[in-house]
A = this chain, B = another copy of it.
Amino acid sequence: MSAEFFNVLPPDDARALLFRHLTAVLPAETIPVPEAIGRVTAVSIHAPHSLPTFRRSTMDGYAVRAADTYGASASLPAFLQVIGELPMGQTATLSLTTGQAALVHTGGMIPETADAVVQVEQTQVISNQLSVSGNPLSVSGDRFSFPFETEVFRAVAVGQNVLQIGEDVRQGAEILPAGHWLRPQDLGGLLALGITEVSVVRRPHIGILATGDEVVPPAQTAVPGQIRDINSYTIGGQVQQAGGVPIYGGIIPDDFTALQTAAAHLLAQTDMLIMSAGSSVSIRDMTVEVIEGLGEPGVLLHGVATRPGKPTIVGVVNGKPVLGLPGNPVSAMIQFDMFGVPAIYRLQGVVNAPRRGQVWAILTQNIASESGREDYVPARLSDGPDGLLATPVFGKSNLIYTLVNADGLIKIPLNKGGLLTGEWVEVRLF
């Protein structure tokens, strides 16, 4: 079947079609939580106990019985007897009776017999009916001998300035679903509950092949007619940023058998295969045939309604994505971002894929487009008097420096014929 028979699909439909064929999640492995940044949970995780595990003060002050402060005001303070200090890190064993209080630090445990905390700023220590200066909670400063008296200038309600047991998370609650992409705070949430190891999905290994008789390794001197392989490494960089492991398969000449053999070999060892093919129609046709020969279902679509990147080939073989990207470096990067990166998340079952950062900026030049096609134009950002400015970096998609000189991509939606100078446009950040 010739490639010409495949439909050119809008990007969202193309991605949905690919995703329908990617249902299996890669196997799990167990790793220490502090090393799990950017990894993905393999199973749902529940709280082994509530958090906090004890009632904690949110203020420096006094643990009190709230009823003892009712009616207190600056003009008519309540008087409390401070019978001791609640040391940090120890179980609060002091017992308060009516009219009694205990010094407590922020984060400290309050005793069974207390039900609120009065902020130290709302109190004043009294000795022989005179105010005493100094902070009774200071480590280095004045210390007071217990018991002493303090005035309270404001009433507190039951529970005020106190974290309740389970207020952060309750025992048994699902704290993270399976497929959660782990961020710094998620590590904190696990460790707070004593969970120091986590079952995560193995990192996807992404096989990358460059093809083309004209392509030589970057370390090699290129004679006129030859170019150095850069797509392997720009895509490898994108793979790393998305949390995958690039496996470089080298450069294959424009020969069906050589490409077929190399592709089958690399696909068997990896979880996804990327072929950065030449941009010539003949090479694209060859890539389609190679993918068809690798296994079922083979090529899903040949062509995406975008610019750059229309001749992208999207396939699946034995549950593994296989992408044939255009040889132009700009097209290859944009298309890998559109299909490869989401597929890396999908192979890990990610439910909270990191959102692509974007900024709004004022367009400094008209951009033409065609309705029915999604365009991506590299743009450079700078600060202007009325906000951020987006200046298109025009250039053919063979020119890698159009991307080196850009900060992001302006997306022109399917239904727009272009964008005008002065419009606010969305710039997707690299």
Interface residues of A (CB under 8 A from B): 33-34, 37-38, 51-54, 56, 58, 60, 87-92, 105-109, 120, 135, 137-141, 163, 167-169, 175-176, 183-189, 191-194, 196, 212-215, 218-231, 233-238, 240-241, 248, 254, 256, 278-283, 285-286, 289, 327, 329, 333, 352, 354-360, 381, 395-396, 398-401, 403-404, 407, 429-430
Contacts and interface: CB of A to CB of B under 8 A. Distances in A.
Contacts of A359: 355, 358
A240 B229 CA distance: 30
B399 A282 contact: no
A215 B233 CA distance: 45
Q: State the number of copies, please.
A: 2
B137 A281 contact: yes
B33 A218 contact: yes
B169 A327 contact: no
Contact of A231 (B53, B109, B188, B401): B188
Given A137-B280, A194-B221, A360-B360, A187 B285 contact: no
A396 to B, nearest CB: 6
Contacts of A230: 187-189, 191-192
Given A37-B241, A175-B404, A212-B88, A228 B191 contact: yes
A237 B285 contact: no
Contacts of A358: 357-359
5 contacts: A92-B225, A105-B283, A106-B280, A137-B281, A192-B228
B285 A89 contact: no
Contacts of A400: 168, 185, 188-189, 192
B430 A168 contact: no
A254 B168 contact: no
Contact of A396 (B109, B163, B360): B163
Given A106-B327, A357-B357, A54 B224 contact: yes
Given A107-B214, A137-B281, A137-B282, 16 more contacts: A88-B225, A88-B280, A89-B212, A89-B226, A92-B225, A107-B398, A139-B282, A187-B233, A188-B333, A188-B403, A191-B233, A194-B218, A194-B228, A355-B359, A355-B381, A360-B360
A171 to B, nearest CB: 13
Contacts of A176: 404
A159 to B, nearest CB: 12
A37 B237 contact: yes
B135 A88 contact: no
Contacts of A223: 91
A283 B38 CA distance: 33
Contacts of A254: 88, 139
Given A218-B33, A404-B185, A213 B167 contact: no
Given A225-B54, A278-B107, A281-B60, A191 B213 contact: no
B140 A285 contact: yes
A140 B233 contact: no
A34 B188 contact: no
Contact of A327 (B107, B235, B241, B357): B107
A38 B240 CA distance: 10
A279 to B, nearest CB: 4
A320 B202 CA distance: 37
Contacts of A107: 212, 214, 227, 278-280, 327, 398
A91 B241 contact: no
Nearest 6 CB-CB pairings of A with B:
A357-B357, A184-B237, A89-B214, A185-B403, A191-B218, A89-B213
Contacts of A183: 237, 430
Nearest to A215: B89
Nearest to A406: B185
B360 A357 contact: no
B215 A58 contact: no
Contacts of A329: 185, 188, 192
